[in-house]
Amino acid sequence: MATPISRREFLAASASSVIASASAVHANSWAAAPGESSQEKVLDPGGIFWILTVPNPSFHEQLAAKELERGIRKLRFSQQQRRGFVSGPVTDKKDFLFEIRTEPERFKHSEAYEVALHNAGQIQPSTLVKLTGATPLAALYAVFDFLERQGAFFGLDGEVYPLEPKLSLSLPPSGQPWQGMPRFSSRGLVPWPDFLNCISVFNAEDHRAYLEAMLRMRFNTLGIHVYGQSNYWVESFLSFEYGPTGHIAFTDTTATNRWGYVPQRTSRFGMGASQFYDGEVFGSDATRLARNTWEAEELAQQLWRDAFQYAGKLGIRTGVGFEPYQIPGEILQAAPPEARLDPESETHARPRLDPESVAARDILEIRLGRLLENYPSVDYVWLFEDEGMSWRSHKNKTPLSVTPFKTAHDFLRRHAPKKRMVISGWGGVARHFEDFNRRLPEDIIFTGLSDMLGWDPVNEAYGKLGGRERWPILWVEDDPSMWFPQFHVNRFQRDMKLAEEYGCQGVLGIHWRHKITDPTAGYQSEASWDKSLSPATFYERYGKALARSPRGEKLGQILESTDRERKILSTFSGEYQNGHAVTNEFAGDYEEGFVFWKGSEIPPSLMQTQKEVANALLALTVQSSSPEERERMEYISKHVEMLVPYATAWVASAQLNKLLKKAVELKKADKADEARNLIETEGVELWYPLGSAAREVLLNFQHIVSTRNDLGSLASMHNKLERLTLFRLPASMKEFLGELPEQLRKAQTDLAKPDPNASTRIFLPTRPTILLKGETVRLSAVAPGVDAVKGIVLFTRAWGETKWFQKKMQLAGRRTYTAQLGPFDPKAGLVDYYVEAEISRESKATSLTAPSEAPKDTYTLTLV
């Protein structure tokens, strides 16, 4: 397997070939929408930025003012900042006044806003920028739009600001305001809770940071599906009882056994990965600290109840739901046998309880009642066609019963008339929309995931629903490629255009991970307001937010061409059958992930193009001019770089698997000696490069793990990729050899050893960004690496102060430390924070910080 050093020989040629294939992009950091224009206003360093609100501002108006103040600071303007009320301060011509106003009479849409440039008048000769919204929330959206136009990027993992200080302001010309009007009234996300890399492992601080990121992306809708199928495929969030009977439910941890995971102590992870975890079990505290299924239920539901209430405070509508056709096995056992169905029934597409039965009605109403009781603040009740029925109807167009939906609608009308009902499902559900549209009340919202993991376009059925509200769900990422970077901006442009043409009032995005999905989710958020936004323009802006010029522009070009030309491993094969995209499974986290035995093949041409992309990104990364820029670049470059050894390991594993199958046949034919010889002479030699490639994949990823979701991905990859390559395949060979060669056993041990050259680093998996009065939030810091950690200190400083307040963080376990942020006085407006670790390197004490350039650069809390 080629090493990073040898790859550098290809950098120049690879980088030029990838960049040359990218489409042309615009020169400006922000391309104005049709009919819009912008101007650059050079700033006078002696001027003051005045951020003004009306007296007694609302919550969102306060937040808008403080978020604008936050953004101006993050853009590194040299100007002083002061707060005041409209018409209050006496200013100089060098000053800028930013007025935040709410004027509902001026706008037709409740989320519309305007950013306008005015002359403040002869008495106030300074420059006046008015950010006006139809509602206080719309005024806050105006602030986020304004900051994006200055170069900020808002993604699922939080905010990213350009590394160079801003010397000028991008402003609308006088008399030509920037006007914001959403293309879709419902804009948001469907974070899927099942794997170790998603909201299943979230704690309270993770939910808060996620919702705060959604707000800055101007998303207003959060919808969550909960699994409630048979046996142990049941999650705690919507647990219920039927008569005296309850059921087992939990969220996934490294000690559970759903989705291809096997229970495994994190201390058994090889290559030093155990350092990333504070104990033997990684997962949400709601499960790992619960003593029984009832506590798991109570803790999980309290966690989501608090999150939904916080979402409502921020201005995000929420919905949660389940699959009414399916029930937990224990509940089915308690149901009368007269209401059960033959699970092989073609007529009912595999529900196990007759949806027309009285028992089904009773159980559905119990579930709905529990949902409303546990989550009183939700706006939507979401009912899903179950996944198995979707694929069954995909093949034979089996009709679905509408009785559960009618029952639920009637129940909500009687008990919660202000809640809206949503029907959803996998891609197959759209095939039932025309039938449902005729038979169900028109106030029910229709939504569903796009077919074939989103590679099929938005279904034309959405355009045949008359006046019914509908929201297609696009795949920000798909789960058969869950460990890979996925760039789908070009696909999103197509599907958002179709959704608009079909009269859809909303567009949502399904995802699991966060930071690596930022490009696609970021495009979804921005294109929900700007229909003219092209993938090339978006990628350029994204690149320039992450890296300094000219690397930022080149990064955008590489990512756009990689997306458009599908240059890296992905689910889509490039082929269509029976009108649907044909997909592969190269890293399906719903089973054992590294399923090399399933027959999916990697074309040599793809192995070459992804190597070229990896080398082009590496070429940019090594040119980084600061630690912060390098961290940003490496997160993307190493995600792509690890695909190269991953593909090598996949091909070698598939070849070895074929040899093992042949050996099995030989053994069955009483040719055990031939089977042994085959594995001894060919199989063993195949394994060595395979094992080395798997190690390279994992070490590449460990180098960039930096979020809560990344910790989940890392656990999954060790639980599956490491186990399958370093243990299971050798165990298979051992069946024919009797004993593994000593050299191979030594290689197993060596490959699982920590990287002796792994530099120690420190990161915060979750960075809180907003605190309300009197609140505190937990902060965690992780410091993996070869050096000993003596301790970690949290530094905080309120805006306007010069002295840092220090707090020693407490060791939670291994190399994870925690502390509470807050409470702080909201009058401070903003609080900067960072952490510093004291480490021992070669008997000498030194320190590391997060962010890497603190205290020059810090994380920030907005206080409201």
Q: Residue 103 sits in a domain of what CATH number?
A: 3.30.379.10
Q: Is the pLDDT of residue 345 over 80?
A: no
333-361 mean pLDDT: 81
Same domain (yes/no): 258, 148: no
340: domain range?
187-532
Q: Please report the pLDDT score of residue 712 as a whole number.
A: 98
Same domain (yes/no): 63, 195: no
Q: Is the pLDDT of residue 359 over 90?
A: yes
Asked whether residue 631 is domain-assigned, the answer is no
Q: Is the pLDDT of residue 29 over 70?
A: no
* Residues 6 or more apart in contact with residue 147 via CB below 8 angstroms: 67, 68, 71, 75, 154
d(CA 718, CA 701): 11
CATH number at residue 851: 2.60.40
Q: Please report the pLDDT score of residue 253 as a whole number.
A: 97
Asked whether residue 282 is domain-assigned, the answer is yes
How many CA atoms does the CB half-sphere of 708 hold within 13 Å?
27
- Asked which of 532, 551, 581 is the last residue of a domain, the reply is 532
Indicate the burial class of 156 (C-beta count within 10 angstroms; 0-12, 13-18, 19 or more): buried
Q: Please report the pLDDT score of residue 89 as a whole number.
A: 66
Domains contained in the chain, number = 3
Asked whether residue 835 is domain-assigned, the answer is yes
- pLDDT-derived band at 46, boundaries 50, 70, 90: confident
d(CA 520, CA 486): 8
768-782 mean pLDDT: 97
Same domain (yes/no): 394, 291: yes
234-250 mean pLDDT: 95
pLDDT digits (tens, 9 = 90+) for 48-65: 899 999 999 999 999 999
Please state, in angstroms and as integers, the Cα–Cα distance from residue 39 to each residue in 36, 98, 180, 607, following that order.
11, 17, 18, 45
pLDDT digits (tens, 9 = 90+) for 625-682: 999 999 999 999 999 999 999 999 999 999 999 999 999 999 999 999 999 999 999 9
First to last CA, the chain: 53
168-197 mean pLDDT: 96
pLDDT digits (tens, 9 = 90+) for 717-747: 999 999 999 999 999 999 999 999 999 999 9
Same domain (yes/no): 300, 390: yes
Q: Please report the pLDDT score of residue 845 as a whole number.
A: 85
Q: Please report the pLDDT score of residue 351 as a whole number.
A: 76
777-782/770-771 β-pairing: unpaired
- pLDDT-derived band at 87, boundaries 50, 70, 90: low
- pLDDT-derived band at 19, boundaries 50, 70, 90: very low
pLDDT digits (tens, 9 = 90+) for 128-171: 999 999 999 999 999 999 999 999 999 999 999 999 998 899 99
Q: What is the DSSP string of 429-443?
A: GGGGHHHHHHHS-TT
Measured from the Cβ of residue 13, the count of other Cβ atoms closer than 10 Å reads 13
Same domain (yes/no): 262, 395: yes
What 3-state class would DSSP assign to 49?
Answer: strand
Same domain (yes/no): 80, 128: yes
pLDDT digits (tens, 9 = 90+) for 386-430: 877 776 666 666 678 899 999 999 999 999 999 999 999 998 899
Same domain (yes/no): 392, 517: yes
| Helices vs strands, H then E, count in the chain | 24, 29
Same domain (yes/no): 166, 197: no
- Asked which of 476, 499, 532 is the last residue of a domain, the reply is 532
Same domain (yes/no): 389, 452: yes
362-367 mean pLDDT: 98
Same domain (yes/no): 304, 449: yes
Asked whether residue 720 is domain-assigned, the answer is no
Q: Which of 809-813, 839-843, 853-857 has the lowest mean pLDDT?
A: 839-843
195-206 mean pLDDT: 97
Q: Is the pLDDT of residue 16 over 60?
A: no
Q: Please report the pLDDT score of residue 23 as a whole number.
A: 36
- Asked which of 477, 506, 532 is the last residue of a domain, the reply is 532
- Per cent of the chain over pLDDT 70 is 92
Same domain (yes/no): 240, 106: no
Asked whether residue 691 is domain-assigned, the answer is no
246-253 mean pLDDT: 94
Q: Is the pLDDT of residue 763 over 80?
A: yes
Q: What is the mean pLDDT of the chain?
A: 92
CATH number at residue 358: 3.20.20.80
Asked whether residue 655 is domain-assigned, the answer is no
pLDDT digits (tens, 9 = 90+) for 278-290: 999 999 999 999 9
Asked whether residue 6 is domain-assigned, the answer is no
d(CA 507, CA 469): 11
Same domain (yes/no): 309, 428: yes
d(CA 114, CA 67): 17
Asked whether residue 774 is domain-assigned, the answer is yes
